[in-house]
Amino acid sequence: RTVYVNGAYLPEAEAKISVFDRGFLMADGVYEVTSVLDGKLIDFAGHAKRLERSLSELDMPQPACLPDLLDIHRELVRLNEIDKGLVYLQITRGAPDDRDFAFPDPETTAPTVVLFTQNKPGLSDNPAAKKGIKVISIEDQRWARRDIKTVQLLYPSMGKMMAKAAGADDAWMIEDGAVTEGTSNNAYIIKNNTIITRHLGNEILHGITRAAVLRFAKEAQMKVEERSFTIAEAQEADEAFITSASTFVMPVVEIDGTAIGAGTPGPVAARLREIYLDESR
Ligand code: PDD
């Protein structure tokens, strides 16, 4: 694989990051994942905008290559011949001379910029979309600024492991009795043809796929309610699903062992998946 590190396109084995990089030592970094379908980037403008916001919320210097990110994405897709897959981008506060809690002087420490691709030939015809996935609920123990897409992914990783141990595919996280989101996706339920998903705030990531799906749903005259919901309400729903750049719209057929609707992917989620895949290409 060819990867991008600080201005250079290199074979992955030759790419190097300092041991003092704050992304490595302190999870002081932000990231984006953009999907690629038929060689084309999906929703890139949204990801670029959220990246700028994440950097600014953390007072991170904007790397010099920021205006060139689209070209860098496209070049990596070309070099690695990605037809279907993902582009991962990470920007950290860089590598100062020593470990220190205080942010380094941006005049002397430049951000570290890394991009790599992941080839996923089955990305858009994932068999899980036909079967649906099972989720469990777990307590949301992440920090309180989940609207910033940081690389602090230990708790989401633990959540995926808890799901796996319980024989499920993923976990929905609960705070003050309400669902925040999935470990790496936004969570939705459908009741009487109304799509219900948590309102935006610091408690969840403002999903780029979420924004697109809600826009398409409204254009198709579907009803949308942005509000919190409980697991009990979700278990009584007609359908449930998740969205993210790597899963698009993915039906959820079981929550904490309770089948949702008929226990098979429902028509509204299937339609939204189709609309998203058609409209966003
Ligand atoms: N995850 N919520 C969380 C906590 C996420 O990590 C993600 C994305 C989303 C969905 O956002 P978007 O639609 O912009 O992808 C919601 C990415 C895919 C990941 O970590 O791999």
Judge whether 120 counts as a catalytic residue: no
- Determine the distance separating the centroid of ligand 1 and the alpha carbon of 207, expressed in angstroms: 6
On average, the pLDDT of the chain sits at 98
Task: State pTM to two decimals.
Answer: 0.98
Q: How far is CA 63 from CA 15, 56, 93, 118, 140, in A?
A: 18, 11, 9, 23, 32
DSSP 275: H
Of 52, 84, 119, the residue that ends a domain is: 119
> For residue 15, how many other CB atoms are within 10 A of its CB?
17
Q: Whose CA is nearest to atom 19 of ligand 1?
A: 184
Please give the residue range of the domain that contains residue 14: 2-119
Tell me, what amino acid is at 120? K
Q: What is the ipTM of this complex?
A: 0.99
Residues with CB under 6 A from ligand 1: 33, 181, 184-186, 205, 207-210, 243-246
Q: Whose CA is nearest to atom 1 of ligand 1?
A: 184
Distance CA 250, CA 244 (A): 9
Residue of 149, 160, 218, 223 marked active site: 149
**Which atom of ligand 1 lies at the shortest distance from residue 208's CA?**
14
Of 71, 86, 119, the residue that ends a domain is: 119
Q: What does the pLDDT read at residue 47?
A: 98
pLDDT tens-digit series, residues 35-66: 999 999 999 999 999 999 999 999 999 999 99
- Residue 59 is part of a domain; what is its CATH number? 3.30.470.10
Q: Are residues 133 and 114 in the same domain?
A: no
